[in-house]
Each structure stands twice: as C-alpha cells, then as structure tokens.
Amino acid sequence: MNTRLVLKIILIIVAISIGSMFFSPMLSAQDITIPKFNIGVDATGAGTKEEFVVSMQILLVLTILTLAPSILVMMTCFTRIIVVFHFLRNALGTATQPPNQLLTSFALFLTIFIMQPVFNEANEKGLQPYLNEEITQSQAIDNMIKPMREFMLKHTREEDLALFINLTGGERPETVDDISIWAIVPAYTISELKIAFQIGFLIFIPFLVLDMVIASTLMSLGMMLLPPQMISLPIKVLLFVLVDGWHLIVDSVIQSII
C-alpha cells in the first residue's frame, strides 16, 4: 500500500513538471496583464454614481450566477426529466447504473433542447435589444421573464397556482399578468413533481409485475433461498433493451412537455 502511494505521488509530481515545461514558455512569452477588479463603497463620497451603479450590476450578475442552478431546476422542465430518470433506474433495480452524473448531464441537455424556443424568445426580445441599447435594463428583464412565465403557466395546474395565490393573502389577481412570479415558480414545481411521479408510477408497473412473476415462479420451484432480484435484474434489462426503452421514455417525456 505504501509503495502504491509513493508511486501516485511521483506520477503527480511528474505530470505537474511536464505541464509546467509546456505551459511556462507560453505564459512567459506573452505579456499578460491581470485586470484589477474592485467592488466597494467609497465612504468619502469620492466615487461617482456611475461606478456605484456598475458595482451594483456586477453584484447582481454574481448573485444570478449563484442562483443559476436553482433557477434551472425550478423554472424549467429539468425537474420532471430527472425525477423520471431516477424512477426508471429504481424500477430496473440497477442501483448505480446509469450513474447520477450521466443522468444529470442527459437531463440537462434534454432540458436545453426542450426549452430552446423559450430561450430564443427571451434572447430575441430581452437580451439582444438590451445589448443593442434599444431598451432599458428593467424592460429587458421583463421581456426575458415573460416567456418563462408563459411556459410555467402552461404546465401549472390551477389548483397549485390557487394554493400559493391564496397563501399570499393579497388581492386575487384579475389577469394572468398580475400573478406574481413568486407564486408561479413553486406552483409550477409542485405540478412538475406530480406529473413526474405519475410517469414514474406507470414505469414501475411492468417491472413490478415481472418481479412478482419471477418471485412466484421461484417459490413454486422450491428455490426460496435464491434472491428473485438475481434473476429478475438481467431479464428486466433485456426486456428494456428489446423494447427500445430509452427511446420510449425520452419520447414520452418530451411529448408530455411540448
């Protein structure tokens, strides 16, 4: 064990040395200037208003980047896709296959594929006009949120939306545009979770029936000490491959969203 540890340390040192040999001439040959980045509040009042606005905008961008994973999960179809994939893996009985990283990456790319029209509309009506200085920042944010609102409202049940509207305790909105985004997002998430659990239940049924048939067969043959999972797992995997299960699952999930 000590010999393996020493060999790993030597390999790491060699790799770092080789990397420094290749990259150090490239870095030294270039005059690289690291830009100075400073965010602060001048107590003496010497800073201009423009500098303060830029600092606040930078802080806002950093905050949005920090919340980006939550925005991705709560405001897109990512929730439905990843929950369905986990139900499928549990139904098959493969504890770690496919691994979580693969399922998350696949769900992420499917989310981008499905949400592409929404993202394009937000880009065309919000981001690009703002970059071209045709609209203000507040107008750009409103135009970028509007397609997301429409997408979430399309897939949100009225019962879930009414729940959070009533919990706010304010006046009932007269139109859809009056509904707060803070009520739409959790209502949309609950609706997505319900649909994902319904799809997961339908996925479980054939595999559950197969498990029961195999368990009954083993019991009738007197092989009660043999774990049914040992026999059912390869049969379920084979059946899933023969019916082209990944194609059916992905097609069903996409059709349920589009």
Which pLDDT value is given to residue 95?
78
Q: What domain range includes position 199?
A: 64-168+179-256
Which pLDDT value is given to residue 84?
92
**pLDDT-based confidence at residue 12 (cuts at 50, 70, 90):** low
**190, part of any domain:** yes
**58, part of any domain:** no
Which pLDDT value is given to residue 197?
93
**87, part of any domain:** yes
User: Where is pLDDT greater, at 153 or 32?
Assistant: 153
Residue position matching structure tokens 């059912």:
232
**119, part of any domain:** yes
Q: Which of 91-105, 168-182, 192-206 has the highest mean pLDDT?
A: 192-206
Q: Determine the average pLDDT of the residues in 92-115.
A: 87
pLDDT of residue 43 exceeding 80, the answer is: no
**124, part of any domain:** yes
Q: Determine the average pLDDT of the residues in 234-239.
A: 85
pLDDT tens figures, 106-139 = 998 898 898 888 888 888 888 788 778 788 877 8
pLDDT of residue 11 exceeding 60, the answer is: no
Q: What DSSP character marks residue 237?
A: H
**50, part of any domain:** no
Q: Determine the average pLDDT of the residues in 57-86.
A: 80
Compute the Cα dihedral for 110, 111, 114, 117 and give only its sign.
negative
Task: Dump the DSSP string for 172-229.
Answer: PPSSGGGS-HHHHHHHHHHHHHHHHHHHHHHHHHHHHHHHHHHHHHHHHTT-TTS-HH
Q: Could you tell me which residues come within 8 angstroms of residue 125 by beta carbon, excluding any fewer than 6 positions away? A: 143, 144, 146, 147
Average pLDDT, the chain: 77
First-residue to last-residue Cα distance in the chain: 55
- Domain total for the chain? 1
**154, part of any domain:** yes
> Which helix H or strand E contains 42, and what residues bound it?
none
**pLDDT-based confidence at residue 2 (cuts at 50, 70, 90):** very low
Contact present, 183 and 168 (Cβ < 8 Å): yes
**132, part of any domain:** yes
Which pLDDT value is given to residue 44?
52
pTM of the model: 0.70
Q: Which of 46-50, 63-67, 75-79, 194-198 has the lowest mean pLDDT?
A: 46-50
User: Where is pLDDT greater, at 40 or 198?
Assistant: 198
